Amino acid sequence: MKMMQSSNAALLRRILHLSSMFNRSLSSLPDSAILNDDIDNQVLVEGKSWSRIAILNRPSVLNALNTTLLARLNKLYKCWEDDSDIGFVMMKGSGRAFCAGGDIVSLCHLINKGEFEACKEFFRTLYSFAYLLGTYMKPHVALLNGITMGGGAGVSIPGTFRVATEKTIFATPETLIGFYPDVGASFYLSRLPGRLGEYLGLTGAKLNGAEMIACGLATHYSLSTRLPIIEEQLRNLVTNDPSVIAATLEKYCEVVYPDNNSIFQRIETLNECFGHDTVEEIVHALENEVSRTNDAWCISTLNRLKEASPLCLKVSLRSIREGRFQTLDQCLAREYHMSLQGISRDFCEGVRARVVDKDMAPKWDPPTLEQVSKDMVDQYFSPLSEFEPGLELPTNHREAYT
């Protein structure tokens, strides 16, 4: 999550490391893509014939989302949707990531300064764009080359087509920073096969491109070296027909399957353990598996759960389970309430421990699952006060995504 302006860019370059794999590189911009000001530069635009490409352009922070970037995306996408000369839209990231999620460091700065209205604006803008994309009237192609995590998934998965590569790394790691999977995650995670959504949402475990194809998070797979060819072929299309776009993607993409080390090789154990009603029961099931088999996957999964915020584990499980019976707009509206109710609890402590100080020793409140009461979880799902407006989505004009 986020919101930082250019004056804080140097600080962000030093501290926004989501993990050791998140090596960054500042990619030089093509001369033709340079726009007039920094606001426009956060989303670059390329266009030819019947298509437009939105390029997320904050490579030094892995294209982390802030309010300025999201507001520009909303404006561009609404304009393109109304333009009869544009048949379809694409999105990609600059540098090594598609999008690592929200600008969590900037968001914590806002919280610590008491700028809660700015926090609300961020969430409203983010969730509104996710709904716009999920109900978009034109075909959409997201090129998920590189890190695609948290909010980065939220601004791509609701679209028509998602192309993964061998460089794609998907995750919803919010519980590890004292938050919960949002931006529609309770919608799409709850619709994954079996209990995969609960597993991903609680542990923050990663999927590669082939695994995204296997579970439906991605629609197509391509080697990253072939993406320029795919982009060029798509740009040459004069169409608004999804089947024509699909045929082009299928012509240049590949068929892949998860390897023998994939989580899909353990899907029965995963379903059994993560199918329980409570986080405590999930942990107990994993512990039983460890005592019976000493299985390395069960051990590592238990360790990940122990690293996460106990409160956010319970909140996340309930959110995913509720999302299974809700439409996209209902999930987003609920997640907006949840974000305003719970943003100041474990979130800033988790960001401090994992991203800023990087001591990996967050002091969660409360520190154990047993100390997380039902009332604490209920608070996230309780209605906002009568003076606090909820998330207003244009459901009367745009069909709800089910």
Q: Would you name the residues annotated as active-site residues?
A: 102, 151, 174, 182
Candidates 106, 21, 124; CA nearest to 58 is: 106
Structure tokens at 217: 């998070």
What gap in Å lies between CA 315 and CA 28, rounded to an integer? Answer: 41
Whether residue 239 contacts residue 208, with contact meaning beta carbons closer than 8 Å, is answered with no
Whether residue 377 contacts residue 314, with contact meaning beta carbons closer than 8 Å, is answered with yes
Give 3-state DSSP helix, strand, coil % of the chain, rounded to 5. Answer: 50, 10, 40
What gap in Å lies between CA 180 and CA 200, rounded to an integer? Answer: 11
Q: What does the H/E/C string look like for 305-340? A: HHHCCHHHHHHHHHHHHHHCCCCHHHHHHHHHHHHH
Measuring CA to CA, how many Å separate 313 from each of 175, 179, 198, 335?
6, 9, 10, 15
> Residue 385: how many CB atoms within 10 A of its CB?
8
2 backbone dihedrals φ, ψ, rounded to 5°: 175, -165
Residue holding tokens 């390395």? 296
> Residue 144: how many CB atoms within 10 A of its CB?
30
For 279: left if phi > 0, alpha if psi spans -120 to 50, otherwise beta; the answer is alpha
Question: What SS3 state is found at 122?
Answer: helix
**Parallel, antiparallel or unpaired: strands 140-144 and 88-93:** parallel
Structure tokens at 297: 């996957």
Strand partners, 169: 147, 208
